[in-house]
Amino acid sequence: MGSIFDNSAFTIIAAEGEHADFGLPGLEGISRPRKHDLETFTFQTDDGEILDIYIRRRSKTKWARRAWTFQEDTFSKRRLKFDRYGVRWECGTTVCEEHRESDDFLVGKGRGWSEKSHFFRPYPSIPDFAFLVWSYNKRELTYGEDGLRAFAGILTALGHKFQGGFIHGLPVMFLDVALLWQMSGACKRRAASKLNAESKCPPSWSWAGWKGEIRYMLWGAKCDYLRRGNAIERTIPMVEWFSQESKDSTPVLITHQNSWCLDRTKYLSGANDLPPGWTKHEIDSADQEPRLISPQTHYYQHNSIPETQFWYPIPLPAPHQDPIIQSWGRLLSCRAQSATLRVCWNEIDGNRAVIIRGLDGSPAGVAVILRALDGSLAGILHYPREDLASRPLENRTLVAISQGCLLDGYVIPSGYPELLLSECPYGTDLRHKKFPERSGTYEFYNVLLVEWEDGIAYRKALGRVMKEVWEHQDIEMIDLILG
């Protein structure tokens, strides 16, 4: 469907009504009369002129809330939209609304294809992809098994930009970063319909397996290849991932996984055998560089996009390259470290945990405290629910899927709520003053809380455990199969 909207001259969108058969009202003798949902404010100017100001009531239509209409909304270059607010024209340069006499102030603020940088950017961009996922995943689906089907056009359009394509909605070349998605606000596991006994929802390790908004700014911040902003976070792969159709099937190595990180390791270590098209440039000592995990003396450019500077080469799409479409199994497997830690659900009542807030300030879950079995602090768990105070303390097995670090001195409150406890009279365990002794970085393991069923682990929450604490636990290597 995405290609249909992409190749159309313009799209007529019937966005009014509660179902697809509502049609276009206002066609005399054919359809029902139009009824605008506008508020009118009348006032008198200093020279006595009477003006009527029309204000659109801001509430999303059913069309704007449906997941299956996301591709229509995203790919259409020009749109003539009919909704309960009136008729609206949108393109890459302007927006016109019938209830406004002049829309000069909107020129250049259109929402057409020319502004959709997530498709036009000539390199793979996790921040842009994360924004698309955020925009889509909060929409509604009648059938949970359509979680990825309604997003397939987006994945196809972006497939050639990301080396290795996608596995159940996650970009393969950034797989370990992509697995660190977090939800914002209320979320729940998608449930398959009973229309077909074979219907299955996307797996628990994919964002598409859950209904809700992802925290896209945190996701995008974990990629450090562009020479812009503050590269203060880093994700470090530590396992090799395989795909499986079933628990007993032969694991298939996922090719191109974390290829971005392989290049980072190679070129930040000083390698000079550059891929075709790449050049290396020395940084002028007078340049004011942003804060970095590891300060650099060089940056890189590719001759196809000389206006963009990188900290290291990454795989770029070849001109006119076809998208990679590969069918992967639903199970993700690896050999992983596991350890038993104490999940302190009941410490929430004592204000020992931090409420995580979404972009709109609404509760997006809680940061539950993790402790070692001896009672010492271990880390936190991002749990997407708030009704945890009545749950008893319990020992749970967590699995480490990657390592990470954060540059000391930069606190991301919504992303690293454990650091906020230094400002809380109840949160004395994770005071930020402890971090300078770790050579200027906060180092940790990214861990999953899982629930096991018939030998398959299902993701329940994502967390972090301080590096030195994790490495002092009784570590057990396990065969992890995520479903």
pLDDT at 437 over 50: no
Rounded CA-CA distance 200/329 in Å is 12
Confidence of residue 419 (pLDDT cuts 50, 70, 90): low
Average pLDDT, the chain: 79
pLDDT at 352 over 50: no
> pLDDT of 285-322, one tens digit each?
656 555 566 778 889 999 999 999 999 999 998 877 66
Q: Beta-carbon neighbour count of residue 375 at 10 Å?
A: 9
Q: Name the H helices within 290-420.
A: 417-420
What pLDDT, on the 0 to 100 scale, is given for residue 46?
62
pLDDT at 202 over 70: yes
What pLDDT, on the 0 to 100 scale, is given for residue 166?
96
Most confident of 225-234, 337-346, 396-405, 412-421: 396-405
What pLDDT, on the 0 to 100 scale, is given for residue 219?
80
Higher pLDDT, 427 or 283: 283
Sorted by where each begins, the domain ranges of the chain are: 2-115, 119-231+255-302, 331-482
pLDDT at 430 over 50: no
What pLDDT, on the 0 to 100 scale, is given for residue 122?
86
Rounded CA-CA distance 297/268 in Å is 10
Return the H-helix or E-strand segment holding 7. none
Phi-psi region of 255 (alpha: psi -120 to 50; beta: other; left: phi over 0): beta
Q: Name the H helices within 66-183.
A: 70-75, 117-120, 126-137, 152-158, 175-178
Mean pLDDT of 60-76: 85
Confidence of residue 197 (pLDDT cuts 50, 70, 90): low
pLDDT at 39 over 50: yes
318 secondary structure, DSSP code: P
